[in-house]
Structure 1
Amino acid sequence: MIDTAGTQRSRVRSTILFAFAIALALYLAWLLRHVLLLLYVSALFAVVLKPLVCYISDLRVGRWKPFRNVAIFVLLLIVFGALAAFIFLAVPPVMDDLRDFAREMPTRLPQILDKLKRLPFAGHIDVQDLTDRIEGAATGSATSVLHSLKDWASGLFTVAMGFILTVYFSLEGDVAYRWALSFFPITHRTRLDGALRRAEVRMEKWLIGQGSLMLILGLASTVTYSLLHIRYAYALGFLTGLLNIVPVIGAAVCVGLALLVAAIDSWGRVLGVIIFYVIYINVENSFLTPRIMKSSVDLPGLSILVGLVVGSELAGVVGALVSVPTAVLVSVLLDEYLVVKEDEESAPLAVSKILPS
């Protein structure tokens, strides 16, 4: 005779133990959330950068492929070389101007404030009070920089670990991918694999589309800044194109930085920068983005903005940076498992018509 009471007690104990295991796993995930975020971002970058790695590995010199086994290291070398060249060429003139400005600030500040007073609603500025505030802010910022060296070191260590993990995911990503799929039942493995493969293709297309937009904006900004004779035109153009990888936020930072630099010399240059960005934003939103990004990621603008807000809230700049690829991944998984297709809705009706009543 089957002991139904014992079976019921065993099921209750199993349910309780399973609930405790889930709670413990969630607690550990919360404690390791920064590590898990770093792993996710590194894996996502490895997936997104895969087309560039494949392109470098396929470069030929005759029949010889010189970068076949070191493509990821060549890509990282190109990135670090570009950043080093940017720092070497752009930072020294900026630092020289900042030192000169700090020396001349007591004499130049009243002139700047005099220009500000000519603007509407700016006639009640207390020069001495504003000078004291700027000097206090400078002293406080210097002190805060000294106190935050530990945070800087921690941030640099996190960035370095992100690069290392990205390299390892690029080299051994297929092994890790098959290992992760092995946790799912065999009957569901093929479907999940197909969905993730489709997401990978759309992420790769996003990189191509985003790279095109970054290149267009970077070149247009550099030409515009040069024609307006704005300081650091090439450095600002490079940053403008680079920061455009972060939707909305990157463009806002670029506008603020360009306006700040242009305001040092004349308000006419500020007006020129504003006119350029107004024209470019309209061209990008009405012509470039629909033709480049729509065909790449196939996501509505609202979902991209929602992903940006959520990503930036959860992980700051890094979350905003990976918001669009993450939105693509979530969109593909939702479409595969939750969205009811029209053929799936009509299938039960077709079966009911075939079967006898």
Structure 2
Amino acid sequence: MPEASQTTDLSETPEPATASPHPAGTVPAPGPVPGPGAEFVPGPGAEFGAPYGKPGKPLVRSPFLIGLTAGLGLLTAWALAQALITSRSVIVLVVVAMFLAVGLNPAVESLQRRRMPRRWAISIVFGAVILFFVLFGLAIVPPVSQQAASFVNAVPGYVRELLANPTLRGLDSEYQILTRIGDYITSGGLAQTVAGGLVGASAVVFDAFFSGVTLLVLTLYFLGSLPTIKDYLFKLVPHSRRERTRALGDEILDGIGGYVAGNLLISVIAGVVTWLFLAVLNVQYALALALVVAVTDLIPLVGATIGAVLVSLVALLQSGTLGIACAIFFLIYQQIENYLVYPRVMKRSVDVTPAVTVIAALFGGALMGIVGALLAIPVAAAIALIIREVVIPRQSQL
């Protein structure tokens, strides 16, 4: 069957569609329809895509999203604070290790300038540090052990003297003190207390030993990779400011290294002079007491006083004359150290006024204890250097 002929009626051809004056996806607002040549003015709500012309509230300004974002921010800040508090001991170890590495680096570079490889220079400097700790332990442990054994052996004599005291006898007859002490001992309470104290002391000793070993290992790693760390950190600075930042950074690191080296030198001088004085007076455990003075002298402000008090008390237990002589010696030596030794040693390392030194040490001690007091002075020197070299010249140009 022949197909029906398909004819096209030109008279029924649709007119070409004109472009809509409204953006795609929006509905014109109520009102008069503009003419073909009129300018289109979007109605209220058209910018939000409101289907019926009424503007809707933007989702970004929703109170729910604002509260949710604020809550998530508070939770994140709280989690970060808890993480910092939990890892505080680790952070302190890392900071102290980096501080020691920066302080020992001048000695390593001094050996390198004598054409010694850095690896061997680090080995020599680090071996000297380990040797100091070994000597300190050998000098301190035997006297402490001997004194502890002597005290344990003297306990029965102390008990007999107490029992022979008429005042104690009168108190015992009235309050049954000795009977209660005997019941406490026989009931096992004393054994539990002693066992708990031994366990706690063992835990403290183990934790201190582990922290010391970790500190030494971290210091060794930081000392070996210090040039690489410096180069990496300086690369994070924009190229236009990198040279200036490197110069300031090297000056700050040199100041920290000078402070550590100077502080160690002052402590060595204090220990040697104390050992000579105690040896002349024939004070027992002179070497151990001199090492105690050298270690405590590292603590700013109060370290020298703590060492002097400890040594004077130990000497006082041996003889009243020795105790008074030690007190007079330390009183004179601290004046010499504060006004002659310290300024001469530290004049090229840290340029900080005495008032700033005291304030920095107080704030550092309040924040991080002894470690904070040790780190506060070089940090204050670094801040003073930045203010003097960067802030003040910039303010002078304004």
TM-score per shorter chain, which class? 0.7 to 0.9
CA RMSD of aligned residues (A): 4.1
Distance 1:143 1:267 in 2: 37
8 A contact 1:262–1:269 mirrored in 2: yes
**Match status 1:235 vs 2:285:** no
> What is the aligned partner in structure 2 of residue 322 from structure 1?
375
Q: Which secondary structure does the structure 1 equivalent of 2:212 belong to? A: helix
**Match status 1:39 vs 2:94:** yes
Structure-2 change in CA distance of 1:265 and 1:183 (3 Å) = same
> What is the aligned partner in structure 1 of residue 248 from structure 2?
195
Distance 2:123 2:336 in 1: 37
Structure-2 change in CA distance of 1:313 and 1:291 (3 Å) = same
Query: Superposition pairs for residues 119-198 of structure 1, below 5 Å?
Result: 143-198=196-251
Query: Superposition pairs for residues 195-234 of structure 1, below 5 Å?
Result: 195-234=248-287
Distance 1:261 1:142 in 2: 29
Distance 1:226 1:266 in 2: 15
Q: CA deviation at 1:140?
A: 6.0
**Structure 2 unaligned blocks of 5 or more:** 1-46, 49-59, 162-170, 173-180, 182-188
> What is the aligned partner in structure 1 of residue 148 from structure 2?
98
- Partner amino acid for 1:87? G
Q: CA deviation at 1:20?
A: 4.4
- Partner amino acid for 1:157? F
Alignment: residue pair count: 318
> What is the aligned partner in structure 1 of residue 104 from structure 2?
49
Q: CA deviation at 1:181?
A: 3.2
8 A contact 2:139–2:287 mirrored in 1: no
Distance 2:151 2:81 in 1: 52
Query: Superposition pairs for residues 239-318 of structure 1, below 5 Å?
Result: 239-318=292-371
* Larger relative contact order (CA 8 Å, sep ≥ 6): 1
8 A contact 1:228–1:272 mirrored in 2: no
Structure-2 change in CA distance of 1:160 and 1:140 (3 Å) = same
Q: CA deviation at 1:58?
A: 4.8
Q: CA deviation at 1:216?
A: 2.1
1:91-124 deviations in Å (ceiling 9; x for gaps): 224422331233225547999xxxxxxxxxxxxx
Structure-2 change in CA distance of 1:149 and 1:98 (3 Å) = closer
Name the one with the larger helix percent. Answer: 1
Structure-2 change in CA distance of 1:38 and 1:186 (3 Å) = farther
Which residue of the other structure, out of 340, 350, 353, is the alignment partner of 2:392?
340
8 A contact 1:57–1:69 mirrored in 2: no
Q: CA deviation at 1:200?
A: 1.3
8 A contact 1:215–1:241 mirrored in 2: yes
8 A contact 1:308–1:319 mirrored in 2: yes
> What is the aligned partner in structure 2 of residue 79 from structure 1?
129
8 A contact 1:196–1:329 mirrored in 2: no
Q: CA deviation at 1:250?
A: 2.2
1:310-351 deviations in Å (ceiling 9; x for gaps): 2222222322333322232233234344x424x952x45xxx
Give identity over the alignment, percent. 24
Normalising by structure 1, report the TM-score. 0.73
Q: Which secondary structure does the structure 2 equivalent of 1:70 belong to? A: helix
Larger radius of gyration: 2
Distance 1:99 1:145 in 2: 16
1:262-313 deviations in Å (ceiling 9; x for gaps): 1211111111111011111111222222222234311122222222222222
Q: CA deviation at 1:199?
A: 0.9
8 A contact 2:262–2:346 mirrored in 1: yes
| Greater CA drift, 51-60 or 203-212 | 51-60
- Partner amino acid for 1:51? P
Structure-2 change in CA distance of 1:289 and 1:142 (3 Å) = farther
8 A contact 2:289–2:311 mirrored in 1: yes
Q: Which secondary structure does the structure 2 equivalent of 1:230 belong to? A: coil
8 A contact 2:103–2:256 mirrored in 1: yes
- Partner amino acid for 2:363? V
Distance 1:32 1:90 in 2: 31
- Partner amino acid for 2:137? I
- Partner amino acid for 2:224? L
Q: CA deviation at 1:59?
A: 5.3
- Partner amino acid for 2:99? L
Q: Which secondary structure does the structure 2 equivalent of 1:95 belong to? A: helix
Distance 2:160 2:238 in 1: 72
